[in-house]
Structure 1
Amino acid sequence: MSRTSRDRDDEGRARSARPRDGLGRPLPYGAEGVDRQPEGVVRSPGETLAEAQRLLNAGMPFHAHEVLEDAWKSGPDEERGLWRGLAQLAVGLTHAARGNAAGGAALLARGAESIVPYGAQGPYGIDVVGLTCWAAALRDDLRRDGSPVPAAARAPRLRMR
């Protein structure tokens, strides 16, 4: 594929057809990647949180971000900041696992800031306090060390127990 042509989806939107690894990094055409999350899936909040948690626990925060992004785009306006913030936390972990310490730290801070207004126990049992503490600790580790982190081992728990 030339640098000037772009992959397109059925509706003509630019969309890379390259396979991706477990952290969402593009692989060469023809390489074996992991299955992508289908886009535009409308799930209940509980289904969204369960699927995102499953992906986080599996060390696939990029894919969890895609699930959370669907909720952000399809949910009620008053919850968009919550779902956007959760998606940013997942992308922050993605960057941390890829070794992009500065990008990871910035997204973790932005995501935590976005969810704080939803209260200590956010809607649907989301553990806002736990998530903001997790984000701050990982952000501080990234600023101190900068080494890639194991995504599954550093995955947050989205809901209170």
Structure 2
Amino acid sequence: MNARDRDGEGRARSARPRDGLGRPLAYGAAGVERQPEGVVRSPAETVREAQRLLDAGMPFHAHEVFEDAWKSGPGVSAPLWRGLAQLAVGLTHAARGNAVGGARLLRRGADGIEGLRAEPYGIDVPGLVRWARELAGRVEAGGPAVDAAREAPRLNGGGAGRSRGSGSGSG
């Protein structure tokens, strides 16, 4: 492999496979398929795809979906998508065991979306802010290891860190 992998347009982009939390694996190892970059989705498609990835325990990949929305959508929506991307990266770091980085990004994301209207695109902003701050506090306090799928927030309401199979999305 070259000293620096490049994409088709010559930009630096690692060709190493990644695991579900976005950690690079050895060349040739089986990894999780990466999210394509630069995909333009409707807000509803963005929420649906990000929720699917969060539920699967892949917040790093959900962050890439939010990043696409942030960079391709109208400027007025950028703070929402940027804040959600930060929440997803915060969950990623927390699940990787990086308590300091995880808590910092969870709080930064919560701060970034806190003042937005309550439910842009059906997203439960107040619920996500509560979820992020609560998780940041637990991570900093040295709580149990974070399971990204178990702790995944419900973007459209109903809480977070829910128990599987409840059907209600509360927890």
Taking structure 1 as the reference length, what is the TM-score of the superposition?
A: 0.95
Runs of 4+ in 1 over 3 A off after TM superposition: none
- 1:117 aligned partner: 115
Extract unaligned runs of 5+ from structure 2: 159-171
Highest RCO, 1 vs 2 (Cα 8 Å, sep ≥ 6): 1
Asked if structure 2 preserves the Cα contact closer than 8 Å seen for 1:100 and 1:146, the reply is no
- In structure 1, the gaps of 5 or more residues are none
Counterpart Cα distance in 1 of 2:83 and 2:115: 11
Q: Whole-Å Cα distance in 1 between the matches of residues 87 and 60 of structure 2?
A: 10
How many pairs does the alignment contain? 158
Identity %: 71
Match of 2:40 in 1: 42
For 1:66 and 1:136, locate their aligned partners in 2 and report how far apart those are by CA, in whole Å: 22
Give 1:116 deviation, angstroms.
Answer: 1.2
Alignment of 1:123-138 (within 5 A): 123-138=120-135
Alignment match, 1:22: 20
SS at match of 1:153: helix
> Is the CA contact 1:99–1:147 (under 8 Å) kept in the aligned structure 2?
no
Alpha-carbon deviation of 1:125? 1.1
Partners of 1:144 and 1:43 lie apart in 2 by 38
1:151 aligns to 2:148 (yes or no): yes
Pairs within 5 Å for 1:87-106: 87-106=85-104
Contact 1:95 1:103 in 2 (8 A): yes
Indicate the residue corresponding to 1:58 in structure 2: 56
Give, in angstroms, the shift of residue 7 of structure 1.
0.2
Q: Give me the TM-score of the superposition, normalised by structure 2.
A: 0.89
